[in-house]
Chains A and B, each alone.
Chain A
Amino acid sequence: MATDDEIFAKLCRLIQPFNTADVKLEKNTDIAADLNIDSVSVMDFVMEVEDEFDIDIPLNILGETRTLSDLIDVVKARVKGA
């Protein structure tokens, strides 16, 4: 099982192409708001995350996911559940 920091590093690599303003990424970075990504690009990023970790992230879980830290928790839970 990957550690939080390993997952964080992977997420940072995946989100970098969408981070057009080159915002410094922290665990408490608000994915949509701080990076100013529109809803379509967010889904593109979500797909990258799903493919990287081989998981499915349902919409209702996305609704409660705001920061990279939240997303780390989602990844951990989904990987375990799989």
Chain B
Amino acid sequence: MNNKNDLAPTIRANKSLPHNLGKFATLLEGLEYAARGETGFNFYSPRGALQNVVPFKDLRDRAVETAAKLNSMNLQRGDRVAIVAVTSPDFLAAFFACQYVGLIPCPMPCSMNIGGKEAYIMRLKGMMDSAQVNVALTPDDAFDVVSQACERADVAQCLTFSQLDELPQSKQTFQPFGPEEVAYIQYSSGSTSRPKGVLITQKSIMSNAGGILRHGLKLTQEDRAFSWLPLYHDMGLVGFCLAPMLGQVSVDYLATSAFARRPLLWLKIMSDNGCTISYSPSFGYDLACRRVKQAAGDFDLSKWRVAGIGGDMVRADVLNAFSETFAESSFDSDAFLPSYGMAEATLAVTFAALDEPILVDHVDRAHCKISRRAVPAVKSNSADPQNVRSFVACGRPLAGHQVEIRGDTGEVLSDREIGHVFIKGPSLMGGYYDNDAASCEVFHSNGWMATGDMGYQIDEQLVITGRSKDLILHNGRNIWPQDIEWAVERLDGLRAGDAAAFALDKECGSEQIAVLVQCRLGDEGQREDFRRSVSSIVHQHSGVECEVVLVPPRSLPFTSSGKLSRAGAKALLISGEIFAGVAASLVPSTRMRTGSLAEGAAAEAAE
């Protein structure tokens, strides 16, 4: 399709096709429209060379072909198709092919940690079970792992993209999804052990993409996007694939794994192509900053007008460091655009105003904790982290959407009162796929949805103070403590309730994870081996480092209803009480280890 020798990326603005900012009834209507222009998607190799150029027209043609092949597979309308969401034309062709034939695509993660094969298989199996997948599609090199997941999840058919390509094309007429139907199932919510599929309808994606394009980004034809975000994640899929396509702008892609290895390729490609829009969690800006050695001035980032931040708590210190480092590349710090969203709202809920400096609210720490009010800190104190917490405001809701802060008993709170964040509007999901219990838990009366996050408002601007109680945020990823505990408890000799995982040191953004494990071993050597296996299994499952603290049997606290109390376990760790029964020889080293933890924990306890 492409002549590799003189490959050039798709152009910036369509020559004659009038710009339409997402005013379509379905994803396919948007794709058919975009296919009339010259813009499209460009895929870069792990070393930053342009590898595949796919104008929207080619994407449409490939999707139509793939759709006819899917139609030859004896699938029923509404069947679920798991697609491993590698950053490649294959994934996108399969995703849109499903739209043509009325199959529900379920983008699946393709991330794997070093040594994490088994954990990855279990993660896929969980998602396949939850979506009752009928067929799985995978890149050739992941076939081995994905087919093992299929076996365990009883998925009868597992095909590589090339096997799918070899199928005959059926002559059957397409029955695309209509405006009142579903669009896809998103798996970036819920824990690995019990994943919840977010059912996105055509209405929700059209509403959200329109809001992003018209309200959040105020997209113009001169825009060009860049993304290294994974396409199985809502920010990657909606923010940097579906929305740009629905706004007919070109996107340059670097695979997430390539970004993790060479983060500066992000800035190099943006610089080379004059990209104007890119998003990252705070940790991505941090990574780029730390990896750049001398040549920050080699880039030209002057065209970058939207440097979005989402996916984790927005960290003002990281953004300042990035601005300073890349000022000599002409990076404009007003480009930073904090926003707030979640898969359950398709993607975006609020956006800060464009072209304005980020709003940092310094509030009095003691008031936050005692009166649950975000009272502005006294000026003289504002630099003192002991007394002041700083939050970045995430802006106002998209048109047609509402945000409310509610107290513990459901009453609506006023400005600067900290409470539960509720949202309402046409972007909300249809519900969790085949999980009414979970859907009922989040949906309240009159279309309001509980986000599980805590926050407050200032003049309609939303400020998030914390994510759902137990969720751990690590490098932009949500990690459920249940997943870590579940992995640890599968070690020999352990049982359910033997492990408690939680985050400490939320203040500086990158959270330190502590895992308390009840240990029945007495021998010091055995205990050390045991500690090592715990650390190893946590790595394989979550790819994070953690402090393993061995605690005596029956020392972890439980709630009155018999559930593990992570907050209780954390409090015991901080106070030092949980070490009461630890063998004397271990106490000094354990104490030392927890010294640094305790500091972070103390800061957090002041919240």
Binding site for B on A (CB under 8 A): 30-34, 36-40, 42-44, 46-47, 50, 56, 58-60, 62-66
Known: A60-B141, A63-B120. A33 touches B535 (CB 8 A): yes
Residue of A nearest to B537 (CB): A33
- Pick the contact of A56: B46, B110, B145, B544 (CB < 8 A): B46
B 280-302 contacts with A by CB, 8 A: 283, 287, 291
Known: A44-B261, A62-B113. 10 other contacts (CB 8 A): A30-B115, A33-B115, A33-B535, A33-B538, A38-B474, A43-B261, A44-B291, A59-B111, A59-B257, A64-B115
B interface with A by C-beta (< 8 Å): 46, 110-117, 120, 141-142, 144-145, 257, 260-262, 283, 287, 291, 474-475, 532, 535-536, 538-540, 543-545
How far, in whole Å, are A59 and B145 apart by their CA atoms in the complex?
Answer: 12
Question: Once bound together, how far apart are the Cα atoms of A38 and B475, in whole Å?
Answer: 10
CB contacts (< 8 Å) of B113 on chain A: these are 32, 39, 42, 62-63
On whether the beta carbons of A60 and B142 are closer than 8 Å, the reply is: yes
A31 and B115 contact, Cβ closer than 8 Å, known pairs A36-B545, A46-B261, A58-B141? yes
Which residues on B sit within 8 Å (CB–CB) of A50?
A: 261
Query: Provided the pairs A46-B261, A58-B141, A60-B144 are in contact, do residues A36 and B535 lie with their beta carbons within 8 angstroms?
Result: yes
- B257 touching A43 by the CB < 8 A rule? yes
Q: Which residue of B lies closest to A39 (CB)?
A: B543
- Mostly, the B contact residues are helix
Q: How far is the CA of A50 from the CA of B47 in the complex (A)?
A: 10
Give CA–CA (A60, B141) in the complex, Å.
7
Q: Please indicate the chain A residues that have their CB under 8 angstroms from the CB of B291 in the complex.
A: 44
Instruction: With CB as the reference atom, state the residue of chain B lying closest to A49.
Output: B261
Could you say which residues of chain A place their CB within 8 Å of the CB of B540? 32-33, 66
A33 adjacent to B145 (CB under 8 Å): no
Most buried by A among B110, B113, B120, B536: B113
Give B504 Cβ to nearest chain A Cβ, in Å. Answer: 15
In the complex, the answer to whether A38 meets B545 with C-beta atoms within 8 Å is yes
Q: Which residues of B contact A34 (CB under 8 A)?
A: 532, 535-536
Contact A38 B115 (CB under 8 A): no
Minimum CB–CB distance for B87 against chain A, Å: 11
